[in-house]
Each structure stands twice: as structure tokens, then as C-alpha cells.
């Protein structure tokens, strides 16, 4: 009954259309007896990263074959904040550790197809340790101890747009004026930023801010579209993205649904309304496949199609 009531209340905030359809109901991803915190698709949707429950390990899954590779295990913090490069051939993640003197250490690792795993940098334990690839390209940027940007690796591509989060602000560095005039300043006005996800083309930006939901900015026009009850955005393609919407009792999440919507809010659908437990931490692939974590710690996937495309 609580789930039904939550869906009714959530539905009142959405504009439903005829363009989004669930074409395959949720089914478990074949992961054996493992339990997980979340999964994250590569931008091309061919691979998924799964982080084990408690963020202590990462597995790489090839979606076509369901073959699993263990990237790292028994590594505190592994999986939270992991990021794919837009080329889908590499990803980064951090691991928490301890120095010989007992102080905290944070190491950044990168896994690259064909090259394997390597340590990229030591991060400052006093910073937020969130690392981001350039919007297009392989540059790596993070926050330093003073809140200023630290370039871990320079982008090999020209006309790079880079970004990082510091003090709850999303800071965008656009040295070549790639974005529409005034966009970097407008983006920097957002407070309490938790997540920022760029659409595949880099022409749209979804920002999740604590207490304010998700804002989608069309960077080509400057228009902004707000989704007040949504969290944790993940793009399907340049037109559609996914969110989760949660309800808690002050301590524990008691309801959570996955929603797919058009970027301007003119279409939306609750795609987990028939799923019997809370659905969390979704990630979308360009073919419409959506991964999410069930309350049982299992990874599930479903698929949506777009009738107007």
C-alpha cells in the first residue's frame, strides 16, 4: 500500500505522455550470489561497472556475454564516484587507505581497455576526492585542498570543457569558449550540487542539487527545466534521461522508483511501478536498457523504448 500511495503522489508531479514505453520488465542481472551497491553503464552501453555492497570492490561486466571481470576487491571506497570516459575505453575510481604514520590516504586508479589497471595519482584526503573526465576527451580534473582545480591529466583533445565540484558548486572551465556565453556563470550559481551528468553530445547538462531535485540545462539555448522530486540523473540519449525518486522515514529509504523523462519534462514514465521493492541508483544505456539496484542488493535491468523516435 505504501508503494501504491508513493506512486500516486509521484505521478502528480509528472507529465505523462505516450512516447515512453517499458518494452522489457525488470529481471535480475546474472551475478551469482553477490550483492551490490550500484551499477554504472559505459557511455556506449556495452559494459557495466558493478560495485560490491559497502563499496569495497568493482566488477566489469560485458553486457553482450555477461562475462564478469574482477577489477579490484577488498578495497575500501572502491566504486563510489567511479567515472567512465566518454570514449567507453577507460574508467577511474578511488581507494581509501592508510599511510605508515596512520594518516588517511586516497589513491586514484584508472582501468584502460588493453592496458589494465594502473595508479594515476594520490589525492588529497582533505578535498572531496571527486574526479571527472573532460566532457569530451581523457583529461582528468579534481578539487584540491584549497578548493581550486587540480589537473591530474591534460586533455589530449582541443576545445576541452572541464569541470569539478567544490564547496557544493559545479565549476566549469571553458578556456576556448565552447559553451554559449554566460553558461559557465549560470551553472556556477547552483548550490549544494551532488551530481552532474552531461548528455552524450555534451549539449545538455543535468545537475542534482540536495533539496532542489534535478535541473536540466540546454546549453545551446540556455533554457532550464526543473524536476523537483528527482535525484541521480543518468542520460539515455540527448533527448531522454533517467532519475530515481525516493521516500524515507528520516533514516531509511522506504520507497524508490525509477523514472524516464524527456529532458524538457513533456514526457515521463515510472518504469518500475510493477517492481515490488525500492529501485535505486539507476544507470541508463543508449539502447534504452536501465540498470538499477533492488533493495535486496541485486542488480536488475529493464528496457524502455521511445515511440516517437
> For residue range 210-221, what is the model confidence (pLDDT) as tens digits?
999 999 999 999
pLDDT given for residue 9 in this prediction: 60
Burial class of residue 118, CB neighbours in 10 A (0-12, 13-18, 19+)? exposed
State the pLDDT at residue 6: 62
Radius of gyration of the chain (CA): 19
d(CA 263, CA 217): 9
Name the 3-class secondary structure at 160.
Answer: coil
Residue count (the chain): 309
Pairing of the two strands 131-133 and 116-123: unpaired
Using pLDDT thresholds of 50, 70 and 90, give the confidence band for residue 12: low
Residue ranges per structural domain of the chain = 1-20+167-298, 44-138
Query: 3 in helix, strand or coil?
Result: helix
Q: Which strand (E) or helix (H) includes residue 269?
A: strand 268-270
DSSP category for residue 188: H
Full-prediction pTM beyond 0.85? yes
Rounded CA-CA distance 138/132 in Å is 9
Amino acid at each position: 500500500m505504501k508503494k501504491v500511495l508513493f506512486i500516486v503522489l509521484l505521478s502528480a508531479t509528472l507529465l505523462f505522455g505516450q512516447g515512453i514505453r517499458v518494452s522489457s520488465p525488470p529481471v535480475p542481472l546474472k551475478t551469482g550470489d553477490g550483492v551490490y551497491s550500484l551499477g554504472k553503464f559505459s557511455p556506449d552501453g556495452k559494459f557495466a561497472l558493478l560495485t560490491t555492497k559497502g563499496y569495497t570492490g568493482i566488477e566489469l561486466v560485458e553486457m553482450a556475454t555477461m562475462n564478469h571481470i574482477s577489477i579490484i576487491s577488498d578495497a575500501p571506497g572502491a566504486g563510489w564516484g567511479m567515472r567512465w570516459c566518454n570514449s567507453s575505453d577507460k574508467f577511474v575510481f578511488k581507494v581509501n587507505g592508510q599511510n605508515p604514520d596512520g594518516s588517511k590516504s586516497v589513491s586514484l586508479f584508472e582501468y584502460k581497455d588493453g592496458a589494465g589497471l594502473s595508479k594515476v595519482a594520490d589525492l588529497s584526503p582533505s578535498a572531496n576526492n571527486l574526479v571527472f573526465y573532460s566532457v569530451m576527451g581523457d583529461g582528468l580534473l579534481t578539487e584540491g585542498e584549497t578548493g581550486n582545480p587540480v589537473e591530474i591529466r591534460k586533455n589530449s583533445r582541443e576545445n576541452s570543457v572541464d569541470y569539478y565540484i567544490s564547496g557544493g558548486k559545479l565549476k566549469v572551465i571553458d578556456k576556448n569558449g565552447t559553451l554559449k556565453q554566460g553558461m559557465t556563470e549560470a551553472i556556477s550559481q547552483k548550490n549544494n550540487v551532488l551530481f552532474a551528468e552531461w548528455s552524450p553530445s555534451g549539449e545538455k547538462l543535468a545537475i542534482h542539487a540536495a533539496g532542489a531535485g534535478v535541473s536540466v540545462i540546454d546549453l545551446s539555448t540556455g533554457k532550464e527545466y526543473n524536476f523537483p522530486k528527482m535525484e541521480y540523473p543518468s542520460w539515455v540519449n540527448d533527448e531522454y534521461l533517467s532519475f530515481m525518486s525516493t521516500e524515507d522515514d528520516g533514516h531509511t529509504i522506504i520507497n524508490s522508483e525509477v523514472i524516464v523523462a524527456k529532458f524538457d519534462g513533456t514526457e515521463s514514465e515510472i518504469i518500475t511501478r510493477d517492481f515490488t521493492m525500492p529501485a535505486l541508483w539507476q544507470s541508463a544505456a543508449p539502447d534504452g536498457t536501465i540498470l538499477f539496484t533492488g533493495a535486496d542488493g541485486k542488480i536488475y535491468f529493464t528496457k524502455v523504448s521511445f515511440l516517437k523516435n
